[in-house]
Structure 1
Amino acid sequence: MDWFRKLNILLGISVLLLGVILNANGQLGEFEGIPFCETRPGGCCKDRTDSCAVPISTTLCYCDEFCGSFSNDKSNRWPNGDCCPDYESFCLGIYPPQNITEVECMHKGQYFGPSNPIRDNCNLCSCQKSGHTVCEQNLCLIDDSLINNVNSITRTLGWTATNYTEFWGRKYDEGLELRLGTKEPTYKVKAMTKLTNKPESLPRNFNAVEDERWSSYISPIQDQGWCGASWAISTASVASDRFGIQTKGKESVELSPQQLLSCVRKQSGCNGGHLDWAWNYIRKIGLVDEDCFPYAGKPSHCKVKRTDTLSSAGCQLPTKVPRDHLYRVGPAYSLNNESDIMTEIQESGPVQATMRVYRDFFAYRGGIYRRSAASRDEKGGFHSVRLLGWGEERTGYETTKFWIAANSWGSWWGENGYFRILRGVNECEIESYVLATWPHAHLRPKKFKQSLKTSPNRRPFSRPFY
C-alpha cells in the first residue's frame, strides 16, 4: 500500500513538473517539433501503460491513451496532461491548426482578397472563396473601350475623345440623370408655330464670344456639377446674354440659375425641368443676379418672393440704370430652321437649343461632333445648351458646317467648355427645339425699340409659349 501511494505521489509530481516546464515554454515551447513517441520502441500504447514513457527534460512524458485524461478537452490536453509533445500528431493523427492564408483573386493585374473588394471604373469587384473574381456589370459613363473606339476613327469621325477624371468611375445612368437635366419638350413646345427670319447676308463664320460688339456681354462657362440643371443654366445664360447685348452693356448682368432651380414650381430641381416652365417663370416673376442668389448645384430654399424687388430680395442695385424690379423677359419663341437660327444669333444674340445626348458625347475633347457608332445602341437623354455661332471647316475637297455651342460642364470639358457640332443636318436633334426671347430692359437703345415696331418677323408676330 505504501509503495502504491508513493508511486501515485511521484506520478503527480512528475505531471506537475512537466506542466510547469511546458507552461514556462509556452505549452510545447522548446520541445515543439522534437520526436518523442515517434522514437520510442513500440511507439504508442493503448489504455494506461506507465512504462509507455519517454524522458523529457528532467522528467517523463507519456505516449499512452491515459496521458490526456487530466484534461476535459480531449483535443487540447496541454498543459494539464502529461503527454509527450508529439503524442497527438504521431499517435492520434491530430495536428495543430495552421494559419490559413486568405484566398487571393486577380483582376486586371491587381491582387485582392475577399475582405478588400476593388473598383473597376464604375463597377465593384469582389473576390469569391473559390478564387474567382465577380464584378458588377454597370455601363460606365466613359471607359477605355469607348475612348479607343472613337479615337481609332478620328480622321473620318471628325472629333477626338478623352478620359475626364470627373466622369471616370460614374455610371452612365448617373450621367443621364445628373449631368443633363432637360426634360423632353412638351407637346406644347413641339406644336409651336416657329418664327421665320428673313435671311440676309450671312457670313460663313460667326462667334458671339469673339464678336467685338458683344464679347464682353456673353455669360461665362458654368459647371452644373452633379445636378441635372441644364434647363436652368441655359435659360438664365441666354437671358443674361440678351440683356447685355440688347442694352449695349447698360444692363450687362449674370442672372441666377439657382433661383430657377429653387423657385420654379412643378420642376424636379436637380432631376430635370421643362424649358417652357423656366421661361414662363422669368416672364412672370423675373430673376435676380448670380451674386444675390449664387449657384449651389442643389435645390435650396427659395428666398425670392413673387412680389419681391431687387431691394426687398436683398440684392445690390445696378449702377448704370435705375432698376429695382427683377429682370424679366417677354414670351419665348421658337425658331424654324438653320438660316433662321443663324439670323437670330447674328442680329439678337445667343439662343437656347435642346439636344439629345449619347454616351460618347461625355468623352468629347475637340473637333466637330457627330454621334459615333460607339454609342449607337445606347439610350440618350435631353440636354439644353447655348448656340453662340457657326462656322465651316474645309478638309481637302469636303466642307463641314458646324454650330458653336456653350455647354455647362465646366471649362475643363471639350474646347474650354464649348463644343462644335454638325450644322444643317439636325445632328442629335439640336435644330428641332431652338428658343429665344426678348429682355424687358430698363433702357433700350433706339434701334432696339424701332426693330420691335417695324420687323415683321419678330416676336409679336410669332406664336409664343404662353
Structure 2
Amino acid sequence: MKDQTFALVVLMFCVCARGSLGKTELVKDTYEEDTGVMFGKWIKEHKRIYSSVEELSDRFTVFKDNLIQIQKLNQLYSNMDVSFGLNRFADFTENEFRNKVLMPKRQPAVFPQINAYKSLKIDTEMPEQFDWSTKGVVTIVRDQGDAGTCWAFSAVQNIEGQWAMKSNQLTELSVEQVVECDASQDVAQNKADCGVFGGWPYLAYGYIQKVGGIQTENDYPYCSGLGGDKGTCYICQADEYNKTLCGPPVTYCKKEDSCDAKIKPNMFVPDLKIAGWSWIEKNETKIAEALMSTGPLSVAINAATLQFYKSGVWDPLVCDPTSLDHAVLITGFGTSKGIFGSKDYWKVKNSWGKKWGEDGYFRMARGKGKCGINTQVTTAHLK
C-alpha cells in the first residue's frame, strides 16, 4: 500500500510538472523531456524513496537546479572531450555531495623516504594504451554509498590487485573490516583513519599488516553506506578512534555491528600478508611505469567537480591539487584522439557504482598533476 501511494504521488507530481514547469535542454543529449517526467524516470531508475510529499518537492527543486548546472558544465567544456549528465547524485546539493560522499578536505601527506618506490626498469617502450582492468587483476566496481569510505576502497582494491598479480584467484576483500577496525594514526602529520569520516590508504596498509590479514567481502560484507549490499548499518568506531583528528564519533551504534563482534582473524585470507608499502614520485611517466610493473595504484584526488561526470577525459579548469577529498584506483592509461585533438589520460576505477561515469570508471587528464592525482600514489607489498 505504501509503495502504491508513493507511486501515485510521483505520478501526480510529474503530471503537474508537465503542465507548469516547461522544458530543460541538456547539451549533448538528443532528447528533450519535461523535467517532471524526467525526475520520475530518474526516481525509478535509482530507486529513490522519499518520506513525504514535501521532501519529494524539495528534491525536485534540487534536481532542477542540477539540470541547469549540468547544462552549464556541458557548455563550459563544449570544446573538450568530456560530458556531464544525470547520475545517482542528481538530487544532492553540492554541499550534500561533499559531506555525504567525499572526505573532509585535507593536505597531501609527506611520505618518509624509506617508503619510496624503487623503480623497476621497463625494457620495452611505453605503450600508448595500458589497462589492468582487462587483465584479470581488478575486481568489479562497487558502491561506497553515502559514506566517506573511499579511502578504504582504494587501499583494499590495491591489495586485491597485488594478490591477483601473484597468480592468486582474484578475490574481493573486506572494505568493511578496514572501515570498522582501522583507527591508525600518523599524529606527526595530523593524519588518521576515521571510518566513515575518511582516512588514508597508506595507514590502511599498515593496519592490515599489523593485524595480520584481511577477510573476504563475503565473510565481512560492506554495510557502512547506503550502497552496501546488506543495506545500512550503525557501525561503531574502532577502539583507538582519535576524536581530535577525526572529529566526534557516531553517537549510536550496535555492539553487534562493532569490529570486535564481527572480525574473525581465523578467516583471514590464507597467506595474504602485507610486508610493507611504497609511494611513487610525482612524475607521471614514473607513475605509469610503476603501474605497468607493479599493478593498479591507489591515489587521492580533489573530486569536488566530479559529481556529474558522464564520459570522456575529465580535465577541470580549476582544481586545487593540495585539497584532497577522495581516493580511487588507477588501473590504466591511454590517449584519447578526437575532434578536439589528442589528450593523455589515466583510467581510474571509482567506488560510486557501475551506473556512474563510464561503467563506474572515469578518465582523467594525465601529465598535468591534475587535482593532485600524482601526490599520493601508493601501493602495498605482499609477502
Amino acid at match of 1:159: V
5+ unaligned residues in a row in structure 1: which ranges?
1-105, 111-115, 125-138, 318-322, 441-466
Specify the alignment match of 1:454 in structure 2. none
Question: Relative contact order, CA 8 A, sep 6+: which one is greater?
Answer: 2
CA contact (8 A) 2:132 2:295 kept: yes
CA contact (8 A) 2:107 2:324 kept: no
Amino acid at match of 2:178: L
Identity %: 22
5+ unaligned residues in a row in structure 2: which ranges?
1-16, 22-52, 185-192, 226-234, 236-256
CA contact (8 A) 2:137 2:161 kept: yes
145-154 vs 217-226, greater mean Cα deviation: 145-154
Once the two structures are superposed, residues 185-224 of structure 1 have per-residue CA deviations (whole angstroms, 9 ceiling, x without a partner) of 56443877643524542101001112xxxx2331110100
1:13-24 paired onto structure 2 within 5 Å: none
| Distance of 1:425 and 1:186 partners within structure 2 | 17
Specify the alignment match of 2:176 in structure 1. 258
| Distance of 1:309 and 1:118 partners within structure 2 | 46
Partner of 2:205: helix, strand, or coil? helix
| Distance of 1:142 and 1:362 partners within structure 2 | 14
Specify the alignment match of 1:328 in structure 2. 273
Which one of 340, 345, 350 corresponds to residue 402 of structure 1? 345
Specify the alignment match of 1:348 in structure 2. 294
Specify the alignment match of 1:58 in structure 2. none
Specify the alignment match of 1:206 in structure 2. 130
Specify the alignment match of 1:278 in structure 2. 204
Once the two structures are superposed, residues 352-402 of structure 1 have per-residue CA deviations (whole angstroms, 9 ceiling, x without a partner) of 01000123x1100000001146xx79x975101100110012235832100
The Cα of 1:277 is off from its aligned counterpart by 2.2
1:448-459 paired onto structure 2 within 5 Å: none
Is it true that 1:163 corresponds to 2:86 in the alignment? Answer: yes
Is it true that 1:369 corresponds to 2:291 in the alignment? Answer: no
Which one of 370, 373, 380 corresponds to residue 430 of structure 1? 373
CA contact (8 A) 1:183 1:273 kept: no
Note closer, same or farther for the CA distance 1:397–1:119 as it changes in structure 2 (3 Å cut). Answer: closer
Note closer, same or farther for the CA distance 1:119–1:254 as it changes in structure 2 (3 Å cut). Answer: closer
Note closer, same or farther for the CA distance 1:151–1:279 as it changes in structure 2 (3 Å cut). Answer: same
1:187-336 paired onto structure 2 within 5 Å: 187-189=109-111, 194-195=116-117, 197=119, 198-200=121-123, 201-210=125-134, 215-245=135-165, 247-248=166-167, 250-265=168-183, 267-285=193-211, 286-298=213-225, 299=235, 300-303=257-260, 308-310=265-267, 323=270, 327-336=272-281
Q: Which runs of 4+ in 1 moved over 6 A?
A: 139-142, 190-193, 304-307
| Distance of 1:305 and 1:188 partners within structure 2 | 33
The Cα of 1:252 is off from its aligned counterpart by 3.0
CA contact (8 A) 2:158 2:329 kept: yes
| Distance of 1:382 and 1:237 partners within structure 2 | 18
| Distance of 2:337 and 2:58 partners within structure 1 | 38
Q: CA RMSD in A?
A: 3.3
Aligned residues: 293
Specify the alignment match of 1:22 in structure 2. none
The Cα of 1:229 is off from its aligned counterpart by 0.5
- Pick the structure with more helix per residue: 2
Amino acid at match of 1:223: D
The Cα of 1:306 is off from its aligned counterpart by 8.6
CA contact (8 A) 1:121 1:169 kept: no
The Cα of 1:309 is off from its aligned counterpart by 2.5
Partner of 2:133: helix, strand, or coil? coil
CA contact (8 A) 2:174 2:222 kept: yes
| Distance of 1:141 and 1:199 partners within structure 2 | 50
Amino acid at match of 2:280: L
CA contact (8 A) 2:122 2:293 kept: no
CA contact (8 A) 1:161 1:366 kept: yes
1:33-72 paired onto structure 2 within 5 Å: none
Return the index of the structure with the highest Cα Rg.
1
CA contact (8 A) 1:243 1:439 kept: yes
The Cα of 1:142 is off from its aligned counterpart by 7.1
TM-score of the two chains, using structure 2 as the length reference: 0.68
The Cα of 1:157 is off from its aligned counterpart by 2.5
| Distance of 1:397 and 1:411 partners within structure 2 | 27
| Distance of 2:111 and 2:69 partners within structure 1 | 34
The Cα of 1:273 is off from its aligned counterpart by 1.5
Specify the alignment match of 1:393 in structure 2. 336
CA contact (8 A) 2:183 2:195 kept: no
